[in-house]
Amino acid sequence: MTALDLVIRGGTVVTAADSYRADVGVRGGRIAAIGDALTGAETIDADGLLVLPGGIDAHVHLDQPTSDGTVMADDFASGTRSAAAGGNTTVLPFALQIRGQSLRACVEDYHRKADGRCHTDVSFHLIISDPSPQVLGQELPALVRDGYTSFKVFMTYDDLVLNDAQLLDVFEVARRERALVMVHAEGHDAIKHLTRRLEAEGRTAPYYHGQAHAQIAEREATHRAISHAQLIDLPIVIVHVSGREPMEQIQWARARGLKVHAETCPQYIALTADDLRGLNMDFEGAKYVCSPPPRDTDSQAAIWQGLRDGTFDLFSSDHCPFRFEGPADTGKNNPRARTSFRWVPNGIPGVETRLPILFSEGVSKGRITLQRFVALTSTNPARLYGLYPQKGSIAVGADADLTLWNPTLTRRIRQADLNHGCDYTPYEGLEVTGWPVRTLLRGRAIALDGVPMAEPTGTYLPRGTSEAFAQAGHGLAPPP
Ligand code: DUC
Ligand code: ZN
Ligand code: ZN
């Protein structure tokens, strides 16, 4: 047997199923051995550290165009640098189809943006905004067969919304091609109605974004998406679930044996609607504008219960970065945004802080187990999005994507320390216990103690069929 290139010695290996002390040996970028007293050309001392499968952030927006021309704060270089520093080895950004655009041309465009610039591995979900006969009949099936095996649809936003007939058409194609559909479930007409009413009342501060995007509108759309999926007999993922009411719809579906998967995000455990008030109902609140918006402490408690009991399969960042200050025509601080919440770009950064926030608020505070942490942040995303077992596990033959984690290191999240392109973090000052100290992609360091390496070594990953299509059961890591 040829010698190991690298041994990670003396750490506690954590998977979605268990944890145990072992050395991990790497050869040719893959895990080649797990055992005792391994030796190799290079050794990393992991005594006192957790050895986790690298984080997989399955919901990230990078270098996306916006309807009003606002420029995103992260491209593929800065966004994946930030991801690596935060303990991630793979991210799944979106390739957004602009209406009228060929889906194939859209994908090629995103490859041009990403190629040679990524510090983590990447793979694209598609966003279908224009389900024309050409897209549904030819482009989408061909792309799924080429490894683009998941796509997102929107039930709101003027430039993205699909009506019910279009949703059903898209779901049919997904069923036939065995592609996983991610649904942004917020009712468009309800949001528009509430927005008009609030503006007529002079309620235009960022705080009112949270009122316009009412939980009722999210609950209704969640149920509608579930009903459409039931009609077609299709597994779906409801993404960025913000609170108790949409959760109840997901639990309703699951109780009936429907394959509805669910994702939640850091903003729904670490922020509330009150954050959108800013200092005194001022524009500071724009730093927290995202959709769906953060809710109340009752919803936070429901989300924690759902993270524990398996209602949620996925914990993703929904990193969607816009600058707060900056040129007049970019970021949240553009002149129109100050006239009404309606013009504030929806989205907040979080790819670098996702893992520390869930570890600290979840594992360190005893709300979830280490195994659940790994399942939610790495193993389940790999399984649901067709990357398992190459990614998302610590097993012989898997890519040596590993995050060495200090579970007792306490830090305060500070914008000054982060690597994203944003000029703020919504989590400024939050104290966290547990921090990624080394991120390895195929056995090579891509970040050390919060500092990304200079060289981009990430590659593009074509993906297989989601385990959501497995015949028996969910096929996902079970809750503890
Ligand atoms: N949906 C997302 O997934 N991200 C940001 C904004 C949105 O509406
Ligand atoms: Zn969305
Ligand atoms: Zn998103």
Please say if the pLDDT value at position 435 is more than 80: yes
Q: Is 345 in the pocket of ligand 1 (CB under 6 A)?
A: no
* Residue 291 CA, closest ligand 1 atom number: 8
Answer whether 318 contacts ligand 1 (Cβ < 6 A): yes
Indicate the pLDDT class of residue 335, thresholds 50, 70 and 90. confident
Q: Which residues surround ligand 2, an ion (CB under 5 A)?
A: 184
Q: What is the mean pLDDT of residues 420-434?
A: 97
**pLDDT, tens digit (0-9, with 9 covering 90-100), for 144-177:** 999 999 999 999 999 999 999 999 999 999 999 9
**Residues 6+ positions from 163 with CB-CB distance below 8 Å:** none
- Say what the pLDDT of residue 1 is: 63
A 10 A CB-CB count for 290 gives 28
Rounded to the nearest angstrom, the distance between the alpha carbon of 154 and the centre of ligand 2 is: 7
Q: Which residue owns the Cα nearest ligand 1 atom 3? A: 318
The whole-angstrom separation of Cα 378 and Cα 470 is 19
pLDDT at 471: 59
From residue 163, alpha-carbon distances to 124, 154, 180, 182 in Å are 24, 9, 19, 15
241 C-alpha to ligand 3 centroid (Å): 11
477 falls in which pLDDT band (50, 70, 90)?
A: low
Q: Comparing C-alpha atoms, which of 101, 85, 4, 8 is closest to residue 50?
A: 8
- Confirm or reject: Cβ of 291 under 6 Å from ligand 1: yes
Over residues 87-112, the pLDDT tens digits come to 999 999 999 999 999 999 999 999 99
Res 384 pLDDT > 90 = yes
184 ligand 1 Cβ < 6 A? yes
pLDDT of res. 475? 41
- Give me the mean pLDDT over the 66-70 stretch: 88
Could you read off the pLDDT of 195-254 as tens digits, one per residue?
Answer: 999 999 999 999 999 999 999 999 999 999 999 999 999 999 999 999 999 999 999 999
**pLDDT value at 444 more than 80:** yes
Under the banding of pLDDT at 50, 70 and 90, the label for residue 473 is: very low
Taking the centre of ligand 1 as the mean of its atom positions, its distance from the CA of residue 388, in whole angstroms, is: 26
Averaged pLDDT for residues 254-262 = 97
Distance between Cα 244 and ligand 3 center (Å): 19
Report strand pairing: 30-35 vs 19-27.
antiparallel
Least confident segment among 62-71, 265-274, 300-309, 357-366? 62-71
From 64, 126, 182, 184, mutation site for ligand 1 pocket: most ligand atoms within 8 A of C-beta: 184
Q: Residue range 113-118: average pLDDT?
A: 98
Q: If you measure from the C-alpha of residue 320 to the centroid of ligand 1, how many angstroms do you get, rounded to a whole number?
A: 7
What's at 137, amino acid-wise? G
Q: Using CA atoms, how far apart are residues 365 and 351, in angstroms rounded to an integer?
A: 21
Distance CA 462, CA 70 (A): 30
CA distance 249 to 378: 25
Tokens describing residue 376: 């939610």
- Residue whose C-alpha is closest to residue 92's, from 319, 264, 289, 268: 319
Whole-Å CA distances, 325 to 78, 79, 289, 332, 356 = 18, 19, 15, 7, 26
Ligand 1 atom with the shortest distance to the CA of 346: 6
3-state secondary structure the chain: CCCEEEEEEEEEEECCCCEEEEEEEEECCEEEEEECCCCEEEEEECCCCEEEECEEEEEECCCCCCCCCCCCCCCHHHHHHHHHHCCEEEEEEEEECCCCCCHHHHHHHHHHHHCCCCCCEECCEEECCCCCHHHHHHHHHHHHHCCCCEEEEECCCCCCECCHHHHHHHHHHHHHHCCEEEEECCCHHHHHHHHHHHHHCCCCCCHHHHHHCCHHHHHHHHHHHHHHHHHHCCCEEECCCCCHHHHHHHHHHHHCCCCEEEEECCHHHHCCHHHHHCCCCCHHHHHHCCCCCCCCHHHHHHHHHHHHHCCCCEECCCECCCCCCCCCCCCCCCCCCCCCHHHCCCCECCCCCHHHHHHHHHHHCCCCCHHHHHHHHHHHHHHHCCCCCCCCCCCCCCECCEEEEEEEEEEECCHHHCCCCCCCCCCCCCEEEEEEEEEEECCEEEEECCEECCCCCCCECCCCCCHHHCCCCCCCCCCC
Other beta carbons less than 10 A from residue 339's beta carbon:
11
The minimum-distance atom of ligand 1 relative to the CA of 292 is 8
pLDDT of residue 207: 98
The pLDDT score that the predictor gives to residue 68 is 86
The predicted pLDDT at position 472 comes to 45
Structural domains present in the chain:
54-368 (3.20.20.140)
Across 413-423, average pLDDT:
97
Question: Cα(140)–Cα(149) distance, rounded to whole angstroms?
Answer: 10
Instruction: Pick from 156, 158, 289, 346 the residue to mutate for probing ligand 1's pocket: most ligand atoms within 8 Å of its CB.
Output: 346
pLDDT at 333: 76
Quote the percentage of the chain above a pLDDT of 70: 97
Beta-bridged to residue 355, according to DSSP, are none
Identify the residue whose C-alpha is closest to ligand 1 atom 8.
291
Pairing assessment for the beta strands 444-448 and 55-60 based on DSSP bridges: unpaired
474 pLDDT higher than 50: no
Q: How many CB atoms lie within 10 A of CB 169?
A: 18
8 A C-beta contact, residue 51 and residue 24? yes
Tokens of 106: 């859209």
- Sign of the Cα pseudo-torsion (162, 164, 169, 173, in order): positive
Q: Model-level pTM?
A: 0.97
- Nearest atom within ligand 1 for CA of residue 156: 8
Residue 69's pLDDT is 86
Under the banding of pLDDT at 50, 70 and 90, the label for residue 326 is confident
Q: What is the mean pLDDT of the chain?
A: 96
Q: Which amino acid is at 99?
A: R
pLDDT at 480: 46
What is the rounded distance in angstroms from the CA atom of residue 129 to the CA atom of residue 94? 12
| Tokens 């890591």 -> residue | 477
User: Does residue 349 line the site of ligand 1, with CB under 6 A?
Assistant: no
pLDDT at 75 over 70: yes
Q: Percent of the chain beyond pLDDT 90?
A: 94
